Amino acid sequence: MDTGDIGFMRVILLGSADRLGVREAVETFRPEIVKHCTIVAEDFSCTLDFSQYEADFAIVFGGDGSILRAAHQMGENQLPVLSVNLGTLGFLANFMPEDLVPLLKKKAILTYPREESIMFKCEIFCGKELLTKRFGLNEVSIQTGPPFNMLLMDLIIDGEHVTSYRGDGLIISTPVGSTGHSLSAGGPILRNDLDVFVISPISPHTLSHRPVVDSAHRSYELRVQNPNVPVIIDGNVIATVTPNERVVVTRASHTFKMIKIPGVSYYQTLREKLGWSGHFPTFQKLK
């Protein structure tokens, strides 16, 4: 941990050391970072709990996966995130490495706009007993695993039974997660600042089951009819559930805060990242 002038910007450094180029990038930029910032804490093992740390923002090195892990590590104390893109596509990671030092020198980053996006709370109950509670940024998915039988599950919204699904699984996604697994399953692309969830079935047996967008201020409950079904949050299995357990997804009380580049619009990002301009971007690795 580094110390610095009390007037310095306070930052947390995050990233995954097992990702190519992350450790090298951090050590390359560290001398410049400490000239302008006090490093309150840092973690590249993705294991520390940062929910109690106070800082002006977090600098996250990597791609969108690193940002998801950082959001989990910050828990209910979500700091604004300055993302340094060392990945490939990077819907969330919007600053390139060469942008970092000029921003820190001018302290301009403190005046940049911050986009707030909803997060979710996923709770698993057996009767009234709470078994597991986790927060996430992208999506909750319940999907088939070995022996890969068709899943049967019920969807209940605000206490009302809506429908029963048969297929490979179901995804409940935030707008931030709408460009991830949900999009691959045929879900719509949603603006990150919307206050909604999208429910996307995975390979539904009934073709009339299509993605549905609904308010994030409702309670979404899933009940499986198969034994030992994985519950996955942002790519990580958090539990397996059985027919006597309930998975309840609601809007989290805290939001994810992303520092944005002034003048770069939502649709400009889609054009560049999804190749809507007619070509896909190419990326160069750090030397």
- pLDDT on residue 88: 66
Q: What is d(CA 233, CA 238) in angstroms, rounded to the nearest whole number? A: 7
- pLDDT on residue 4: 41
269-286 as b/e: b if 16+ CB within 10 A: bbebbeeeeeeeeeeeee
> Which one of the listed residues 64, 158, 168, 214 is annotated catalytic?
64
- pLDDT on residue 6: 44
Name the CATH architecture for the domain at 9-113+260-274. 3-Layer(aba) Sandwich (3.40)
- pLDDT on residue 277: 66
Is the distance from CB of 35 to CB of 51 less than 8 angstroms? no
User: Which of the residues in the chain have pLDDT under 50?
Assistant: 1-6, 287
191-223 as b/e: b if 16+ CB within 10 A: ebebebbbbbbbebeeeebebbbeebebebbbb
- pLDDT on residue 287: 46
- Is 158 labeled as catalytic in the residue annotation? no
- pLDDT on residue 3: 40
- pLDDT on residue 89: 64
- pLDDT on residue 5: 43
Is the distance from CB of 166 to CB of 224 less than 8 angstroms? no
- pLDDT on residue 2: 42
Domain 119-253 has CATH 3.50.50.60: no
Domain range list for the chain:
9-113+260-274, 119-253
Q: Distance between terminal CA atoms of the chain?
A: 26
Residue partners of 239: CB distance under 8 A and separation at least 6: 124, 131, 132, 230, 231
